[in-house]
Amino acid sequence: MPLLAVPLLAFQSPIEKHEEPEDTGSIKRAVWADDRLWILDDLGHVLTVPQDKADLEHESIPEPVIDLALWGSHPAVLTFPKDGDTTRTVRRRLDGKWVETATFEADKERIVGLWDHGADATVVTTQRLIELHEGKQDSVPLSETLVVTAMVKAYRSIEYEKPLQASGVMTGLVTDDYVFVGVNIGEWGGGLRRIERKTGRVTVFDVHPADQVCRGILAKDCDPVTGLAVEPWNPKCIAASVGMSHFTSRGRIVEVCGDRVQRLYFRGAGEESIGSTSKSESSSDGEPSQSVGFFGVVRAGDDLLAAGTDGIYRMQRDGSVAKEPMPKSQERGGIRVSFGLPHVVLVWTTINGRLSVSESVPMLVSR
């Protein structure tokens, strides 16, 4: 892969004064590091919530933040300058300072997301994949521009295109061979993209009957993808959560193994039975029009945990599914969080309400 001309940099930003912002937006991203929860809101602020303290702490970063991730075991942010300059900067939190670690130019491309992969980090733009390593970075052009095509009104079949970062919430998962990008634009769907890391080849998953766009397993115009995780019992497969709350709720857990997409789990809204996982390549066999929406899925030990609109769902290797009530939460500076479950932290966000008629929903953060 070609080496970017812009070198990795390693110098510390000025001494930071932790000043509280005038306003806090909806929570866009959260990660766990250094025994605390790191939160990014959609106004570009970074906040931290220590588990053992009642206070909400505010990070001072020289530029507005586009995205937040882990790089290795340390928080990292992707920022842009306020003066319209096209330089984008990645900073890592090292020894209590935000250290400028990488820069790149993004003139005619938009940022999709920043995600971690072990000791490295990956930036996805609408035009390319940028791999960040210690001391160097590599860039691979994408086979096609990443865009979202969403139906304005299903009954009129009018479509429009928007760059990924223009609207919606992006979820990313980096594996040895691929970068998966889940797109959540609420009532307009979003779907799932897969990028081959070596070649930049983009695959758009769009699985539905030809005459029923919104009755498929994973339809880009109808299904908001809200979470991604590698299956503990099959590392070659990933699980994707689909969830929408727009007057009524709808969702499922989907499994992707190579090019094969199967529905893994759903539960009808109001059903008493929890059921079990049951793989199917068709969503017409019993899935109701109203079902539990899932707003995140993470690996928790040997299980998968999914955050449903009515509780936490635990899926196991043998196909069994158990539903747990939402753990007790607490307010930290106006942010609702819960440390009541092992392996994960819950933080509630209202960002989905900007894309559909939705109340706050929990995000799952691995720890």
Specify the pLDDT at position 148.
54
Question: pLDDT tens digit string along 200-209?
Answer: 999 999 888 7
Specify the pLDDT at position 247.
63
* Structure token digits, residue 40: 């990014």
Question: pLDDT tens digit string along 11-52?
Answer: 222 223 334 444 556 888 999 999 999 999 988 999 999 988
Tell me the domain boundaries of the chain.
Answer: 142-325
Specify the pLDDT at position 24.
58
Instruction: Say how many Å lie between the first and final Cα of the chain, rounded.
Output: 32
CA torsion through residues 52, 55, 60, 66, sign: positive
198-204 long-range Cβ contacts below 8 angstroms, 24+ apart: 198/1, 198/140, 199/140, 199/143, 200/128, 200/129, 200/140, 200/141, 200/142, 200/143, 201/143, 202/142, 202/143, 202/144, 202/146, 203/259
Question: pLDDT tens digit string along 237-251?
Answer: 999 999 987 667 789
pLDDT score of 92 more than 80: yes
Q: Whole-angstrom Cα distance, residue 367 to residue 320?
A: 24
Specify the pLDDT at position 115.
97
